A and B are shown apart, each in its own frame.
Chain A
């Protein structure tokens, strides 16, 4: 076991991929000598050269579009989008081309492109640097979307994403890049399915589902609730598309109450999808309505007020109080 940050774990995962798969390559803005604005690709251009770690022109549609072409030629490109809010120039290529190419070709073509997107707020940054646009992509069939919350998952998920024959978007919780944890880099391979949720903490009174940057917040809220004598189960969703509804359903059948927390606005979001599915699957187990905790229906606010926007321990606790009051 080695202790490392999430950023370092992704770096090591990319290094392992580049070493093992000669057809894999990285593409993005400033990912070469600089190592990316978050240094996630630090040192890789020196080891693998500029044909494998490609500093691209500053054009997101160009990055995704050329990655699709490389995939059609048999390559496995990993694209870095510098910030969540900058993915939109590439949105057309992702939704009209990348997601649909396999279906359009009746399965004759595969486009195993991986897109890494640092996402979420809490870093006190300027506009377009703190968003959580995952629901916009989850709505598009043909894409897979995963998000690690810890270094172990970060290390393995990037490697599993490259091996997957479908396009995969990895949303990386940027404010947790420096969160440390243990990674077994000596393990022969991953032991977990990247598209399955994990029960991180067992409980009997209520379930909190979270993913990415809010997983530590959900765990802290569960710990606080325990001090009040409430037993809260916490699930790290890990995969946003597909969603592991079996794990969530089993938990709700046990606890009878469900809170879904994410930074993205609740309207039209992943929490609403989970609430609807769980109401179908576990209607008779529910003791209270499914409650969503998330961002408001507004453009991501300025840094000085983002603390009021982002779900925190108190907001999750308030939701738990409401659920448990039914």
Chain B
């Protein structure tokens, strides 16, 4: 692969995913509306698609205010971290054979590391805002991330055992005969729940929890800084959906009548839809319920899953 090709791939991935993140504003509002027996934004442009432009313009023209009591530089830095870390996470996803930004042999570990780094934006944003609701949100965000990061990693180890690689390309290739959703259903469910918590989407939007904490860690943010948190959240949804597809649903594998990239994005959009459906239907658990659920139920379950997977893998080998 030449350098030029590589640059095109990098630019292409950036372009596609930033556009998906922006487009999700429209997708989410339309889908939520349809599920609530409404129509949603359908006026600006075809099918209301220009609502994305309108929303972006609105965010750009809003007053970009830094509260005088805030820690200025950290306050500015925090929203950038979430977008940067999620975009880094997207680097290791194979979209089709040969189309991957960084074909790392520790790709999965890199993804876990990057998704954990995202918590810094919550913690720093909440801390720098110097506001009690923001701090509470940041606190919750940190503990939620720590709890769910643990078994997010562990839930993927079953996949790693079966495919014997951390490289995502190899993991996809290992699903040629059978997707890992069949062999690792528990791993999938736990990974998806952890992914929800990781992107702090509803029902696990405990750090934001607008009914309790105003807007949690981004209470003090306005304008495009808030927009960055927003984009970061949508990028996070895309990343988790893309990872779910790569790890459990065969990535770009699919019947030959459609090109691999199309299969990949079809599956990814299905999971983005599930994310939005969960937001539309499920209530937010209490903070202590979330933590208890994580540590007392999901962690033992994921360890058990790991144990059983390992045993079966060894038994098959012998």
Answer yes or no: do A and B interact.
no
Residues of chain A at the chain B interface (Cβ within 8 Å): none
